[in-house]
Structure 1
Amino acid sequence: MADEPNWEDIFGEQPVDSAPKSARDAAAHGTDRSTDATEPVAHPDETDAASAAAGAPPPVASGKPMTRREARAAQEAAAARPGNDPHIPAVTQAAREADAFATFEELTAGTADSGGENGGATGAAAGQLGDAASDEPHRKKRRWGLIVGLPLLIIALLGAGAVAYAWVNYEDQIREVLGWEIANDFEGTGNGEEVIVTVNSGDIGSDIARSLNVAGVTMSFDAFYDLLLAQETDPAFFPGNYSLQKEMSAQSALDALLDSENIVTDRLLITEGTTLPNALEIISETTGIALADLQAASEDLEHFGLPAEAVSLEGYLFPATYELDGGQDPYALLDLMVNTMYEKLDAAGVAEEDRYRILTMAALVQREAGPNTDDFYKISRVFYNRLDQDMLLQSDATVAYGTGNLHTVWTTDAERADASNPYNTYANPGLPVGPIGLPGELAIDAAINPADGDWLFFVPINLATGETVFTTNVDDHEAAAQQLRDWCAASDENASYC
């Protein structure tokens, strides 16, 4: 109905107003209801004509009531008409006849509204009856009776639809009103199931809050992030792998991350997509080997037998979990990881002379792909299609790697225009100068076996789920990119991915 409050009125923020409710309602609907209004009155000639058409006796001009004889004669005359019930007053009988031809839309269109042409009544029935009824309230009551009499199934469906709409759009407000708040934090120190969480150099609070939630340690991103914001001083997190448990309270997770006893030292875990600098820091924290010694060893490219095109050890350490015996030196540990990578490439059928190209493509795919495994192969196809058509790869991930600004998916115009960055695939043709991270087996396989397709663009539109849109033209690509911008701006949790 026009004057019924909508869900925005109910659950939106309401201004404090000292005016009487009726005045506030009038203002809300753009109608001044602070003054009296009367229902439209039909002209006597119009009333007479309508009454005659409906089979009712014309009103007595003198204003005197009919005698019993006159009333009985009028009733008998009306009853003589075919199909009429002699026990139903003529006006009511005519109304039923008219309403029998009302459509569903007319029956559900609502009741009288003072702005309507016939006192606000709508539908064919109102048009046929005009003002035949002796007074307006009776017509309103009849219309409501018809609406209330609609099939219960329709009413149930309409009600269910309204409830569903309200729940989808106003769940938080409804829960607040009804006191149905959902807990966003676990209680206690965990359920006993170990989970390893990696803290990388440069991770900020939102990064760690997201990692904990994705790993199942905390119930929600907000539980840990809000706890960090409430701290008087910013906690200091050190790079490394931490042994935690699933279903920990935010406070117990924070305490565990600040306790060096929880750093894993009996096994080394390097995850896919980790960059070489972060990998060396995690190795140092895990094994106790000095970071400077690891960095020096990693620069001895000749020792590791890298391809002639390689510019660093980046991409050549295989990401996996390695059991440690406590006796490794820097060279021995890095040798183990490089040799494991060569074994994986050999098993995949990659010739020695192709190692550099495949690892460069695989690292690019690893960095750009989300959790959806099929997307690895489609992303690989996009890059191969662009190379085949002599198009620039235009990967923001490569630009970011060259600038060292790896904590955002966005790059600036100036960064994309800087051809002096050898990893900048917006300004330089072909593949980047080398791998931009450590690729895993899936990315390597995707680099070798891309999917079939003619896509030239892709963009993730939900970085939490990895949902990615693949397109063949720039207009569709730009539309999808706007979806990503909107998603990133929707919440602090979303922003932590961006």
Structure 2
Amino acid sequence: MKKVIGYSFLILSLIALFFAWKFFGSATAFKDSKKYLYIYTGNANQKAVMQSLKDSGFLKNPALFETVAGRLDVWERLRPGKYEIEKGSSLFTLARKLRNGSQTPVNLVITKLRTRNDFAGLVGRKFESDSTAMLQFMNSNDSLKKFDLDTNTVMTTVFPNTYSLLWNSEPQKIFRKLNEQRTKFWTTERKQKAAALGLTTAEVHTLASIVEEETLRNDEKPTVASVYLNRLNKGMNLGADPTVKFAVGDFSLKRILFGHINSTASSPYNTYRNKGLPPGPICTPSEKTIDAVLNAAKTDYLFFCAKPNGNGYHAFASNDIEHAKNAKTYQQWLDSLNIK
């Protein structure tokens, strides 16, 4: 009798260990270190999730997971999102993750962008919300009003940085996150500096975007900014080549010709034909560049052109004669290299 009881206990123990292994042991069927399960808005239900798990080959035994998930009330608490599944995860771990809505954050890394389309495309590649939805949001003054933005200034809240958001974040939530960075950046001191220049924060941002396109050298950005501020103060046209590139929509242009200027004469972004700043930024300037505008050098420069040697620096001038000399020197250097 004792032997029977002993054998029975052993069998029951083995069965318990088997189910514990099935429940808490490795349940994944993929070779990568991790994969992602995407649960789309509108499809946060048992049928859609199970179909996705089966089609993608996530699990060794999807049917057993379905049972486990049912026992743990996963289907009643399921939420859309992006969920990371690590290789070797157990059925219990996955079920608990889905039940708790433990999404994997998405890092939205913004570097230098130029247009609304660029930003919308980036969002469309990273989030459930596609580029069309983001563009519709950015093209709606009613949507932007709550952020004190309009369709011209909308890109002034897109600061280069890394933003952590959930994959199923809608355009409004994404912009709320971006706006937090803009609000943090525009301290009282910076606002006061903008006012001292006679510019709004949006105008400073727009001017910084031009400076960003003109030079990669951080140490000369305050001087480049001074040129444009001097032109604004004298009522001169900015005459900034990058704004014409923006108006043309071709950022690969190496030289701006009269044809480019004339063909975009009606564009408010053509600063050869229109006085003042364009209505919005032509790229997403770095915070360093915005600060370079706020702390622009005190100069009487009105012109600049590239220096010889191709080191990225510029020669500055206060009048047409000096500028012509600088331009001639640069052209002679190009000619010596047979560069047209």
The normalised TM-score by structure 1 is 0.41
1:309/1:356 contact within 8 Å kept:
no
CA 1:421–1:283 in structure 2 vs 1: closer, same or farther (change >3 Å)?
A: same
Aligned to 2:220: 375
Segments of 5+ residues of structure 1 without an aligned counterpart are 1-264
Match of 1:281, SS?
helix
2:153/2:279 contact within 8 Å kept:
no
AA partner of residue 282 (structure 1): L
Aligned to 2:180: 339
| Cα distance in 2 between the residues matched to 1:334 and 1:308 | 11
Aligned to 2:247: 402
Aligned to 1:466: 312
Aligned to 2:29: none
Match of 1:428, SS?
coil
| Cα distance in 2 between the residues matched to 1:485 and 1:301 | 46
Q: Of Structure 1 and Structure 2, which has the larger fraction of its residues in helix? A: 2
AA partner of residue 452 (structure 1): K
| Cα distance in 2 between the residues matched to 1:437 and 1:269 | 15
AA partner of residue 403 (structure 1): V
| Cα distance in 2 between the residues matched to 1:270 and 1:462 | 33
| Cα distance in 2 between the residues matched to 1:438 and 1:423 | 15
Confirm or deny that 1:442 pairs with 2:283.
no
CA offsets 1:5-27 (integer angstroms, 9 cap, x no match): xxxxxxxxxxxxxxxxxxxxxxx
Aligned to 1:316: 157
| Cα distance in 2 between the residues matched to 1:404 and 1:484 | 27
Percentage of pairs with the same residue: 24
| Cα distance in 2 between the residues matched to 1:489 and 1:341 | 45
Match of 1:349, SS?
helix
Confirm or deny that 1:411 pairs with 2:228.
no
How many Å apart are 1:455 and its aligned residue? 0.9
How many Å apart are 1:279 and its aligned residue? 2.2
Question: Comparing both chains, which one has the higher relative contact order based on Cα–Cα distances under 8 Å and sequence gaps of 6 or more?
Answer: 2
The equivalences for 1:54-73 within 5 A come to none
How many Å apart are 1:463 and its aligned residue? 9.6
The equivalences for 1:106-185 within 5 A come to none
Match of 1:420, SS?
coil
2:241/2:256 contact within 8 Å kept:
yes
How many Å apart are 1:480 and its aligned residue? 3.7
CA 1:279–1:309 in structure 2 vs 1: closer, same or farther (change >3 Å)?
A: closer
| Cα distance in 2 between the residues matched to 1:464 and 1:324 | 41
2:134/2:171 contact within 8 Å kept:
yes
| Cα distance in 1 between the residues matched to 2:130 and 2:336 | 42
| Cα distance in 2 between the residues matched to 1:487 and 1:316 | 41
How many Å apart are 1:479 and its aligned residue? 4.3
Match of 1:350, SS?
helix
| Cα distance in 1 between the residues matched to 2:114 and 2:322 | 31
How many Å apart are 1:378 and its aligned residue? 0.5
| Cα distance in 1 between the residues matched to 2:117 and 2:325 | 35
AA partner of residue 318 (structure 1): F
Aligned to 2:65: none
Confirm or deny that 1:300 pairs with 2:145.
no
The equivalences for 1:221-232 within 5 A come to none
2:138/2:151 contact within 8 Å kept:
no
CA 1:310–1:329 in structure 2 vs 1: closer, same or farther (change >3 Å)?
A: closer
Confirm or deny that 1:433 pairs with 2:279.
yes
| Cα distance in 2 between the residues matched to 1:463 and 1:313 | 38
Q: 1:282 aligns with which of 122, 147, 154?
A: 122
CA 1:482–1:346 in structure 2 vs 1: closer, same or farther (change >3 Å)?
A: same
AA partner of residue 375 (structure 1): E
Segments of 5+ residues of structure 2 without an aligned counterpart are 1-104
Match of 1:314, SS?
helix
| Cα distance in 1 between the residues matched to 2:228 and 2:207 | 8
| Cα distance in 2 between the residues matched to 1:467 and 1:386 | 20
Aligned to 2:108: 268
| Cα distance in 2 between the residues matched to 1:399 and 1:317 | 22
1:272/1:366 contact within 8 Å kept:
no
| Cα distance in 2 between the residues matched to 1:278 and 1:323 | 19
| Cα distance in 2 between the residues matched to 1:459 and 1:266 | 42
| Cα distance in 2 between the residues matched to 1:275 and 1:482 | 34
Q: Which moved more, 1:305-314 or 1:397-406?
A: 305-314
Aligned to 1:87: none
CA RMSD of aligned residues (A): 3.2
Q: Size of the alignment, in residue pairs?
A: 229
| Cα distance in 2 between the residues matched to 1:303 and 1:285 | 22
| Cα distance in 2 between the residues matched to 1:408 and 1:489 | 20
How many Å apart are 1:273 and its aligned residue? 5.3
CA 1:346–1:464 in structure 2 vs 1: closer, same or farther (change >3 Å)?
A: farther
2:141/2:149 contact within 8 Å kept:
no
| Cα distance in 1 between the residues matched to 2:287 and 2:309 | 22
1:348/1:445 contact within 8 Å kept:
no
| Cα distance in 1 between the residues matched to 2:177 and 2:310 | 33
| Cα distance in 2 between the residues matched to 1:404 and 1:460 | 23
1:360/1:435 contact within 8 Å kept:
yes
The normalised TM-score by structure 2 is 0.58
AA partner of residue 171 (structure 2): P
How many Å apart are 1:316 and its aligned residue? 2.3
How many Å apart are 1:457 and its aligned residue? 0.8
Q: 1:327 aligns with which of 168, 172, 185?
A: 168
Match of 1:267, SS?
strand
Match of 1:292, SS?
helix
CA 1:474–1:306 in structure 2 vs 1: closer, same or farther (change >3 Å)?
A: farther
2:212/2:285 contact within 8 Å kept:
yes
CA 1:290–1:482 in structure 2 vs 1: closer, same or farther (change >3 Å)?
A: farther
How many Å apart are 1:484 and its aligned residue? 5.5
Q: 1:454 aligns with which of 300, 318, 322?
A: 300
| Cα distance in 2 between the residues matched to 1:463 and 1:310 | 41
| Cα distance in 1 between the residues matched to 2:156 and 2:332 | 33
Aligned to 2:34: none
